[in-house]
Amino acid sequence: MPGIGAVGARCRHRPRRRPDQAKGSGQQADGSGETAMDAAIWIYQFRLIVLGDSTVGKSCLLHRFTEGRFPGPMHCDPTVGVDFFSRLVEIEPGKRIKLQLWDTAGQERFRSITRSYYRNSVGGLLVFDITNRSSFEHIYDWLDEAKMHVQPFQIIFILVGHKCDLESDRQVTREEAEELASACSMKYIETSAKEATNVEESFTILTKDIYELVKKGEISIQDGWEGVKSGFVPNVVHSSEEATSLGEQCPC
């Protein structure tokens, strides 16, 4: 019977070049040009966007999440336009989601570029700096702008109060941030890229929430939309005809 068969087969298609050009996408696996990330198997790919004022720490958060390191004050320049990161997340034993992560510039002068990335994102982190009151006050603006530009699709956000290692400089209380999050039907989490606090959790919580909506059919894969893509189902061999007909859906 075509389509069902032996265990552990690999797709015969060549991997699309791209995640290996992204930060955090993994090392060369075997010298063949295929990275560890390319070779991995995932059930879905979610595209997430990271938004917030300049200097709130978006890029450092992504470096910590994808590379496990904090670049430090002298090694993280303001983002120019948009930067791309990638990582796999295991949401249940043996079930991985591939995250494509778009790091946007907070500076106003890049807004026309960053806006074009909202529409193809299924989820996002809305980041403010707990030591910078105005970055918190701008969260509504970021949210409004994102909602306007994702139409007709929906986007799921988590609110992130960043730099929680700087407790003594705090200008936004946890309570008021939780209140804002609740008013906008978002979860709230406080993170520090410097001390690696809740970085993993912030991305995992968002990924799991999106996954649940996908499972329930409230978010679905759609032609012409990059927010969610299906991945490679492990332990299934496709016949050559079926593999060919899969065409664009092949995730490798």
> For ligand GTP, what does the binding mask look like between residues 147 and 166, x meaning CB under 6 A?
---------------xx-xx
| Residues 36 to 65 in contact with ligand GTP, rule: CB under 6 A | 52, 54-60
Q: Which of 199, 198, 196, 193 is nearest to 72 (CA)?
A: 193
Residue 55: contacted member of ligand GTP, Mg ion, none (CB under 5 to 8 Å, by partner type): ligand GTP
Distance of closest approach, residue 233 Cβ to ligand GTP, in angstroms: 36
Write out the DSSP string of the chain: -TT---TT----SPPPS-GGGSBTS--BSSSSS-BHHHHS--SEEEEEEEE-STTSSHHHHHHHHHHS----GGG-PPP-SEEEEEEEEEEETTEEEEEEEEEE--SGGGHHHHHTTTTT-SEEEEEEETT-HHHHHTHHHHHHHHHHHHTTS--EEEEEEE-TT-GGG--S-HHHHHHHHHHTT-EEEEEBTTTTBSHHHHHHHHHHHHHHHHHTTSS---TT--SEEE-PPTT-PPPHHHHHHHGGG---
Residue 57: contacted member of Mg ion, ligand GTP, none (CB under 5 to 8 Å, by partner type): ligand GTP
Residue 114: contacted member of Mg ion, ligand GTP, none (CB under 5 to 8 Å, by partner type): none
Answer left, alpha or beta for residue 55, where phi above 0 means left and psi between -120 and 50 means alpha: left
Residue 124: contacted member of ligand GTP, Mg ion, none (CB under 5 to 8 Å, by partner type): none
* Contact flag: residue 59 with Mg ion (CB under 5 A): yes
> For ligand GTP, what does the binding mask look like between residues 75 and 114, x meaning CB under 6 A?
-x-xx-------------------------xxx-------
In angstroms, rounded to a whole number, what is the distance separating the alpha carbons of residues 84 and 82? 7
* Contact flag: residue 66 with Mg ion (CB under 5 A): no
Distance of closest approach, residue 106 Cβ to Mg ion, in angstroms: 7
Residue 73: contacted member of ligand GTP, Mg ion, none (CB under 5 to 8 Å, by partner type): ligand GTP
Which residue, 45 or 135, has its beta carbon nearer to ligand GTP? Answer: 135
CB 70 within 8 Å of CB 193:
yes
Using CB under 5 A as the binding criterion, the count of chain residues that bind Mg ion stands at: 3
* Contact flag: residue 79 with Mg ion (CB under 5 A): yes
Stretch that binds ligand GTP, among 14-22, 114-122, 188-196, 231-239 (CB under 6 A): 188-196
- The residue type at 222: Q
Which residue, 36 or 76, has its beta carbon nearer to ligand GTP? Answer: 76
Q: What are the residues binding ligand GTP (CB under 6 A)?
A: 52, 54-60, 72-73, 76, 78-79, 105-107, 162-163, 165-166, 192-194
Q: What are the residues binding Mg ion (CB under 5 A)?
A: 58-59, 79
